[in-house]
């Protein structure tokens, strides 16, 4: 009934840019934060960026100054602009919505591969 669908992943060279999109279908009334996570091969899923309903943002130290999280309420979409990409950014990126009452919601992921 409620789904998050990521898009925009792909293969880029180091130093390049990508913009990930997360479209939210259905109705969610108790969102308190939106975020992006990533999981590289052999590693745990980690938080990349968070955007609260109040407009505050927080970023992993590894992406500060390079990534920007934003949203478009009219399109029910959250974005992750990724600049100056590095090979260590290679991972599957997942969209996440945190709720006040319900459990968190996850997208199926989109692959980002950064070549040297």
φ/ψ of residue 41, rounded to 5: -55, 130
**What tens digit of pLDDT does each residue of 21-40 get?**
999 988 888 889 999 999 99
- Is the pLDDT confidence value at 102 over 90? no
The CA distance from 50 to 36, in Å, is 7
CA dihedral of residues 29, 39, 64, 98 (deg, nearest 10): 10
Tell me the percentage of the chain whose pLDDT exceeds 70: 100
**What tens digit of pLDDT does each residue of 30-71 get?**
889 999 999 999 999 999 999 999 899 999 999 999 999 999
Q: What share of the chain is helix, strand, coil (3-state, %, to 5)?
A: 5, 55, 40
């Amino acid at each position: 009934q409620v789904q998050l669908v990521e898009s925009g992943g792909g293969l880029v060279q180091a130093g390049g840019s990508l913009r990930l999109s997360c479209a939210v279908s259905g109705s969610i009334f108790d969102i308190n934060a939106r975020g992006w996570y990533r999981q590289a091969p052999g590693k745990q899923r980690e938080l990349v960026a968070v955007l609260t309903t109040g407009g505050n943002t927080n970023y992993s130290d590894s992406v500060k100054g390079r990534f920007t999280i934003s949203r478009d309420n009219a399109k029910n979409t959250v974005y992750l602009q990724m600049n100056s990409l590095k090979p260590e950014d290679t991972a599957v990126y997942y969209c996440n919505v945190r709720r006040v009452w319900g459990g968190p919601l996850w997208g199926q992921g989109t692959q980002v591969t950064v070549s040297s």
